[in-house]
Each structure stands twice: as structure tokens, then as C-alpha cells.
Structure 1
Amino acid sequence: MSDIVTLDVNDGVAVITLNRPEVRNAANAALAADVAAAVDEIDARADVRVTVLTGSGGTFCSGMDLKAFLDGERASLPGRGFAGFTDQPPKTPTIAAVEGAAVAGGCELVLACDMVVAAENAKFGVPEVKRGLVAVGGALLRLPQRIPYQLAMELILTGDLMDAPTAHTAGLVNHLTAPGTALDAALRLAHKIAANGPLALKASKEIMQRAPRWSPDEAYDQQRAIAQTAFESQDAKEGARAFAEKRQPVWQGV
């Protein structure tokens, strides 16, 4: 990775930072490749339990770098999606920490995350139609699952922006923070999650993501199959033992 994307890991939490503040963290081919490399590293590391995605310089991400696009660059990778992230985010629970604009592909990065912490002055939107483009980085698929269908349709077809308080009321944002503190709040949430059993976290996320594709007749069998590894793990025994002994569990991830 170059310095346009940074990856920091501390106490089970990985932070991916988009670092092109001079273009409001717009994504070009190099940024997409670096983000994909960061995701691969996270997925390969046993010590990462939660991932936070954020941007530097007071902006989350302004979407695709249009100048790079006109020069023939593409900000998407085959199988990985926009910015090397939207089609294949980390397997860990993932939190978007949003300051400033999260628009176009930047909004789609937010939608690829499992939770959202946003500054009160943050803005979200998919204005692709204003430029004759289509939001194929996940907004058309995910936004109607996160907020009411009619509201999602209006945002997509008008290209208008939604402020963070409205996004919070609509259910897109988990927590609102004062400007400049979104990352700190996201890290507090991330460490709270990371204190739990890593196998249970991954299984719970996988079940919740796959459940919409299961029929009612198969849902319980499917979730049991995924959860079985966690139930049979040493961590499950450690969790019960720690509860009985009135102490914090020491997870091994096995």
C-alpha cells in the first residue's frame, strides 16, 4: 500500500483511512488497489475483529475521481467493486466513520459497511443521475434495504443529498457525533464490539447477511450450520467459564 490508503490495527480494531484529502478522498485506480490490499490483509489476520473505514481531511469520500475517469482510469476492481471495497468488504463487522461528504461512490462505501457513525454536519447522497450515470456500486441494491423504499427512490432519482440528522432518523446512521469526532465515536463502538467472541461475531454477521436469501423453511437449518463452529469452539467454553468465574473472557478465536 502507498500513503493514499493507510491501515492501522490496535486492540483488535483495524482502521482503513482514505488519504487523498486534496481531492476529498475521491477514488482512483491506485486507491482502489490499496483498499483491496488492506481488506485482504484484514481478512488474513486473526487479531482483527472489527474494521473502521474513514477518510482524512474532514471528508469521507466524494466518490469517483472524475479527472482520473476522463483519463481512462477506473475506480472499481473486478470482483471487489468501487474503491476495491463495495463488492467485497471485510469479513469482520465494519463501521463507517463519516465526516463531511459521503456522496456517489462514497455513499456506496458507507452502504457496504454494517454500521455508520456520522458527524452532525455529514451529508450522504448518490447524485450519479445528475451526471447521466447510474449508481452501480451498491446504492440501488442496498439503500432500499436501509431506509424506506420511497425515500430511497427519491434520493436516487433526484440526486439530492441527505443531511446526517435526517439519515439518522431514517435509520441509515447508528450514531451522530459532534463534527470532528466521528472516528473517535466509531472506535468506541468498535472496541465495544471487539470485546466479544470473534467467532461469534463473524458467524452473526454472516447469518444476518445471508438470511434475506433463505426461505422460511430453510432459515433455521442454515443459521445453525453457520453458528455450529462458534458453539463447538473453545471460545464458547471460555465465555461460559468466564461468566461463572465473574471475569472477562480471554478469547483465542478457536
Structure 2
Amino acid sequence: MPIDFERKGAIALVTINRPDAMNALDVEHDQALAEAWKEFETDPTLLVAILTGAGGRAFCSGGDLKTYMPWRRDIALRGKESTISFGGMTLAGEITKPVIAAVHGHCIAGGLELAMACDIRICTPDSRFGLAEVRWGVLPGGGGTQRLPRLVPMGYALEMILTGETIDAERAERIGLVNRIVGADVLLDTAFAIAERVAANGPLAVKAAKQAIHDGLDRSLQDGLALEGTLQKRLLQTADAEEGLRAFAERRRPVYATSALAKAPKT
């Protein structure tokens, strides 16, 4: 399969499975990835996803320069829009549920853009990160120029994008690009532990919190607080909030109805 999709209870494990090409995405893999995200997003029983790459050498090395990028160039030459979305993952607001990137090895170009579109990033000590697109006459067009400066200080973002050079895992953690570094033997175990902790929380609250953070980034503090208040009001009107508060009073773990996920709070 171009993209492996496994269900582990409430968690989806999405694996880019093209190790012979450093998990670069060609057109087929890009389309398969889109189907995987569609399945994850529309299934109310799936609460969190983990994105990783097969083979141990690379998380993902981006769009295949031999096939994918020439295809994109042909579209652009015909005067048509050629937005690089990598299966829709790097478009804003397409994935409303939490996604964790489990990075092992090279995470460059579109691979890093995929990882940055995730909500939490963990990696192995031998991982390397970079946006090398300018070396090949294009820019990081899958959200790289927009997400990197939002995740790390502007100076680091400019250095990485304008030089096209890679950084190691230690520096990636130091500048805030990744959340933590773990051994390769416990990478997926760590990712699943985080995913399970997220999945144990109120599903509507998790989705609303993600929405408040991402949508609020481009607003003034006043408008962001208004968004937060609107989402909180709607959450307080749900059965999830009723169950969570009752469980706290009764000193037990809440039991949330996953069917309620189909109607998450929206602005």
C-alpha cells in the first residue's frame, strides 16, 4: 500500500510507506495520503492520529523531485493554481483532530512541512530537519514559509529557509521545532502514550482547543479571547461538559460519547 492506515482503538497510525525513495511523495502517494486523512477526519471513533514513515531512514523527504514537482510545474505552466497540500494536510483547518508526528531519520522539504502541520512532534536523536527547496529553484510551498516562523524564532526560520541547510535533532528541540527527542526503539511507544493521553480527554474540548489555538494565531488578542469565549460557551452546553464535571465531582474518570464528535463546536 502507498500509505498504511492502521486503527489502534481511537488512534489512527498513518505510515508513509515508500522507504526506497526516502518516503518521498509522488502523485500516487499524495492522493493516497489525502484518502487517509479523509478517513481519519470523518470517522467519529478515531480521536488522534500518528504520522510516521517506514524504513527508519526517513520520516519523509517531501515531494518527489523527479515526478511530483514536475507535475506541479506543469500545472503552474498552464496558468492553474498549484497549491501543494500534501494530501490536504498542510492546508489550514483541514484536519480538526490532533495529529502527532513521529519522526525517525530525515524530515526535509515537504516532509518537514507535513511534520509542522502536525500538532505535536517527537523525533529520534539521528533525525535531521530542513527546508531545502531554494536549492532547486522553488520555495517551501507546502506551508513551510508560513509555519516555520510561527514555530521558531524568525531568525532561525530565515536561516533554515534561505540557506536550505539541515539541522540536527538537538538543535530542533532547542529552537522549539520538536517537542522531545526519544530513542528509536521507543518512538512509536512514546507517540502512542501521548496519543492515548489526548484521546482520554473530552473529544469536543480537544477539537475546540485546537481550533481556538490555530484560528486565534491570526487574530488580535481581543478577537482571540472572543473566539475562546464562544467555543467555551458552546462546550458548556454539551453532554461532554456535563459528563466531565459530573465525573470530577464523583471522583471517577469521565466516559465521553464518541458519537458526539460529529458535531464539534464551530464558530
Fold agreement, TM-score > 0.5: yes
5+ residue gaps, structure 2:
76-80, 261-267
* Deviates most, 148-157 or 88-97: 88-97
Look up the equivalent residue of 2:19 and give its one-letter code: P
Residues 252 and 134 of structure 1, relative CA distance in 2, 3 Å threshold: same
Pick from 37, 50, 59 the counterpart of residue 39 of structure 1.
37
TM-score, normalised with respect to structure 2: 0.88
Quick check: 149-158 or 209-218, which moved more? 209-218
Distance 1:143 1:194 in 2: 27
Q: Deviations over 1:127-167 (max 9, x none)?
A: 11112221111111010111111111111111110111110
**Number of equivalences:** 251
Q: Give distance in 1, aligned partners of 2:108 and 2:84.
A: 19
For 1:218 and 1:126, how far apart are their aligned partners in 2?
A: 33
The match for 2:3 is 5
1:90 is matched with which residue?
A: 95
Q: What CA distance in whole angstroms lies between the structure 1 residues aligned with 2:86 and 2:69?
A: 16
Percent same amino acid among aligned pairs? 37
Amino acid at match of 2:28: A
Is the 1:28–1:73 contact (alpha carbons within 8 Å) kept by the matching residues of 2? no
What is the 5 A alignment of 1:73-152?
81-87=85-91, 89-152=94-157
Answer whether contact 1:98 1:183 (CA < 8 A) is retained.
Answer: no
CA distance in 2, matches of 1:167, 1:216: 28
Equivalents in 2 of 1:217, 1:68: separation in Å?
Answer: 46
Amino acid at match of 2:233: Q
* Distance apart, 1:83 and its partner CA: 4.1
With normalisation by structure 1, the TM-score equals: 0.92
Q: Gaps (5+ residues) in structure 1? A: none
Aligned partner of residue 217 in structure 1, secondary structure: helix
Matches within 5 A, 1:155-234: 155-234=160-239
Measure the CA separation in 2 of the matches of 1:148 and 1:137.
Answer: 19
SS in 1 for 2:100: strand
SS at match of 1:64: coil
Indicate the SS of the match to 2:184.
coil
Say if 2:123 and 2:180, in contact at 8 Å, map to a contact too.
yes
Judged with a 3 Å threshold, the aligned counterparts in structure 2 of structure 1 residues 188 and 161 are, in CA distance, closer, same or farther, namely same
Question: Match of 2:145, as an amino acid?
Answer: L
Q: Does 1:64 align with 2:69?
A: no
2:252 counterpart SS class: coil
Quote how far apart the aligned CAs of 1:223 are.
Answer: 1.7
